[in-house]
Structure formats: structure tokens, C-alpha cells
Amino acid sequence: MADPLLDRDIAAAALAQVCAAAGPYVEALAERPVHDPAAAGSLAGIGGPLPEEGTGTTAAVDRLLAIGTATATASSGPRFFHFVTGGTTPAALAGDWTAALLDQNAFARVSSPFAHEVETVVLGWLRELFGLPAGWGGALVGSATFANFTSLGCATQWWGERHGADTVRDGLSGLPRMAVLSGGYVHASARKALQMLGHGRDAVQVCARDDVGRVDLVGIERRLIALDGAPAVLIANAGEVNAGDFDPVDALAELAERYGAWLHVDGAFGLFAALSPRSAHLVRGIDRAHSIAADAHKWLNVPYESGFALIREPGRLGTAFGMPGAAYLPGPRDPGGGYGLHGPESSRRARSLPIWATLTAYGRQGHRAMVERHLDLAQHLARRIDEAPELQRLADVPLCIVCFRVAPPGVPDEDLDRWNRAVGEALIADGRVFCGTTVYGGRVALRPAIVNWRSTVADVDLFVDVVRELAARTRAEP
């Protein structure tokens, strides 16, 4: 194949190929299986040795679309209840395509005034969406893991200051281990962030009052007292991943203020409880935090990868993440600087565009309505489970996750974990709906999460029907 520069006239045709495939794929999401086991063999068409001679744009795009639309997990569809994965609203999808089309480097104002301005607007809108006071700032990042990393990076810089040290310049050498306290809901992504920051993933001292992980406030206060004025970081968890439960953010904020600690809120999906008066009480006190981490690719329903960190003192972002001097790059205080100096990534796509598009298209009220519809669907799912004699709900449903297991009367407890694991494996293999297993309070369970804008009562009912069908089948199998 000739130099790709000579193939440039075919760009519009290649985009037309994608557009032609997009319409049928998106229209089919409402009914298609999440995973089609029969299509798995098509994945072999992706491999092979690196081509010596290219096939050309048209053939390459045709092949990618044919294999991708057949084998991709329909995680943006309404029947994907695994993990906590949102879909992609039409406006957000178009915004993401626009981001790819314009291909902006959102490192700084000087690299893209457009991307910088959109990100500035979006961060302000996110602050307003969650009811945070004026003065908060933040950074758009690739995930809640990076949002936790960014937030805890600022906390580390603050903690170093309290010890009279400059951790940005000199690192952690010679300092005591940073005290990090949390209940048992602390997520693996927060531990990973601490691991990457050099504190170690086991830096978190867990204070839990039961095997589910509910926070022990008395235990946390006891640890704070024992520190005798030394700085500490508290992690409040807004939306636990197994049942959607919340730490009492307000009570943890009270402890943070009383003992001079940094309060970080991990609100990967639970932060969106703030959008509805029905659930806003769950995040009462977030305005008293020092930092908040969340995902937009969960309940905001924008494409992967999209997270954000919100910081009460945004000046700490430039201090913690500003880069060493380079003659051709703007510094943190340079008028040409920007958000690449406020977080872990320097080379950054314009991930603000799909957020801007969806917030502009549907506004505060549209996103509130989506959250409230999902609250209703979660309650409907809970009722369906309660009505099924062979299903057992394991927890209350404060938000959008319903934790339950297969547990017919008369089946010994020692057999239930094996059976529920078999049901989880069967769900993934079957592909009509998608949901995996977890362990909640020592028991293997399912924990479907409802955060996709397309999901309906019919999708929830299908999920229950499939679970019951597969439960009966796996029990009957030897």
C-alpha cells in the first residue's frame, strides 16, 4: 500500500462507513444480547502477523466494523448490569465523535484554547450539578482511579506541608507513613491510587463495625486521638459497590474538622445521588470535603474514559501536578498553561466535549429525571426479587444496586455459594443479560447495577426471568 498521505482523500468515505454501521448498531442495542457466544469465533479475524503491505483504509475499516459489531460486549446497552457501567446518551456519543474529529491536545490553553474553555465550563457545571460552593475547581481525568489519584495526590501535598516538607520536590523519604483512615467500604481504586503515590496499597487503616464494612466512627476517632495532632486523611465512600450503601459523609466531615484531617470522598457513582431530592441526603456533607472523586462514564452516561476530581482548594492541583520546567512548555502559572498541569496526564484528549454535550442537551432536570428513573427501577427489581421464593435480597436498596442471591428454602448454606457462582458464570456465558458475582457479608451474591439511560422495566424483568431460569438449570446440572 502507498504512503498513507496519498490515501487522504478517502477519509470522508471511511467516516461514512462508520456512520453507516453506527445507526443499525445503536438501534439494535435495545434488543440485542449483551454478549453473543456464537460470534466469539470471529475474534480470530483480528489477529495474525503484522501486515507487511496494508489492505487500505476501506478494507481495514470494513473488517474492524464487521468483527467489532458482532463481538463487542454491548455494555452501552440497557441489559448490561455488571460492574457499574453507564451507557452513552446520543448527545454524549456525538460529543465524543467530535472530540475524535477535532483531535485536540487539551494539555494547555496554548495547545487548544477551545478545549481549555470547554473544560473550564464543564468543571464549573459539574460543581453546580452537585451543589458545591463557588471556588471549587478540579480536573478531568480518565477514570475514578485517576480521580482518586489526583485527589489523594493533593492530600499528600497537604500532608507534607503539615510536616514542614515539600513532597512534590523531595518525595516521601524521611517522613512517617501517612495515616489514611476509612470504613470497610474503601474501594480497590483508592488503594491503587495510594499504591501509585508511594504510600502503599495497605496504607488504609480500616475501621469497620461489621463484616459488611459499615464504618466505625468511634474507631476512627480513637485513631485520630492517638495521632496526637499529626495530620491524617479520611476517606468517605459515597456508594459502596456491592449494595450501594453510603458512609455518613457529614459525620466524617465533623471528625475531619475537629481533628484537622483531610476528607476525601470517593463518589465514583454515588455522588450522583446529589441530583435528586429523593437521594440527596445520602451525600449530605460533601461540601465540607477537601476532595471528591467520581466517574462521568458511570451515571452521567458519557463514553469511556471519563472521570473527574473536584478540589476545594484548586490551587493545590498546580502545586501537586505541575511539571518540572521545559523551555517549550508553559508552567503552572503561565497564562498559556492549563489542565495538563492540574492532574496526572499531560497529553490529554478533549474529554470535556461529551460532558458538555450531554449537560447542554439534557440539563440538570434531564439528568435528575434519569437518576430518579433508575431509583424506581432498582426498587422494582428489589420487589421482583422479594416476590421470588428462590431469591433472597441481602441488603436494603438506597440507590441503584440490588444485592441478592439464589437461596431457595431447604438448601444448605454450604451449597449456596457454589450455586450462586455457577449462576454468575451462566449469566456471562448466556449473554442475554450481564451481571457478575461478588461476596457480600461473606456470602456469594449477584449485584446488578442500574445506571444506563436506556434501561427499562422490561429489561429489569428480563434480568430476573433469566436469573431464575439459569438458577433452575444450574441446580439441575450434576
Question: pLDDT for 371-422, tens place per residue?
Answer: 999 999 999 999 999 999 999 999 999 999 999 999 999 998 889 999 999 9
State the CB neighbour count (10 A cutoff) for residue 218: 10
pLDDT averaged over every residue in the chain = 95
Is-contact 222 232, C-beta < 8 A?
A: no
Which letter does DSSP use for residue 31 in this model? Answer: T
The contacts of residue 89 (CB under 8 Å, 6+ apart) are 301, 302, 358, 361, 362, 453
Element (H, E) at 406: strand 404-406
pTM for the complete prediction?
0.96
Which position has the grid cell 453473543? 36
CATH code, residues 364-476: 3.90.1150.170
CATH code, residues 94-361: 3.40.640.10
Using only C-alpha atoms, the chain has a radius of gyration, in whole angstroms, of: 24
Is-contact 413 405, C-beta < 8 A?
A: no
| Regions of the chain where pLDDT drops below 50 | 1
Would you list the DSSP string of 200-235?
-GGGEEE-BSSTT--B-HHHHHHHHHHTTT--EEEE
Element (H, E) at 122: helix 113-129
**What pLDDT does 40 receive?**
87
The contacts of residue 321 (CB under 8 Å, 6+ apart) are 139, 150, 153, 341, 342, 343, 344
d(CA 217, CA 76): 38
Question: pLDDT for 362-371, tens place per residue?
Answer: 999 999 999 9
d(CA 151, CA 311): 7
**What pLDDT does 1 receive?**
47
d(CA 58, CA 18): 10
Residue 245's nearest CA partner among 203, 278, 279 is 279
